[in-house]
Amino acid sequence: MLGIFSKKKFSYFSAEQQAAIVAAIKEAEHRTSGEIRIYVEGRCYLVNPVHRAMEIFAELQMDKTEERNAVLVYIAMKDRQLAIYGDAGIHDKVGTAFWNNEVQSMLAHFNKKDYVQGIVKIIHDIGEALVTHFPYNANTDKNELPDDIVFGK
């Protein structure tokens, strides 16, 4: 059963661009116990991209991190929709205004068709928030979620 995952990786990003995004995730997570995932699909199958992000967040079992500090960046490329969804631990620390500001920042990049830079910047910004509230601890930290980009349909 494939569920929300696709076997085929769509060509929204070149191999180099994908590597840059994954490198940004690894760099951000190196300084925090938090987790960041990127999910990219063509179309948003729900009216509200936040609801779709919540659905994917649960499907990816991102709510299972020990400190509830995982963040999903959801992007529907063809529909030009996006959302950022943070679990309770990080959301309680940064609040809705932080997520809304980050979405606006990413939209500014996307409107200039600067998708990869927009994603990398958001990863950096989310990473900084995670570092502030969930700093890295060498004795307890483990990578709880994969760092790769997840491609949907």
pTM: 0.91
Q: What is the pLDDT of residues 131-144, one digit of tens each?
A: 999 999 888 888 99
- CATH of region 24-136+144-151: 3.10.310.50
Pairwise CA distance, residues 50 & 48, whole Å: 5
pLDDT above 70 coverage of the chain, percent: 93
Each domain of the chain, given as residue ranges in start order, spans 24-136+144-151
Beta strands at 81-86 and 70-76: parallel, antiparallel or unpaired: antiparallel
Pairwise CA distance, residues 89 & 133, whole Å: 9
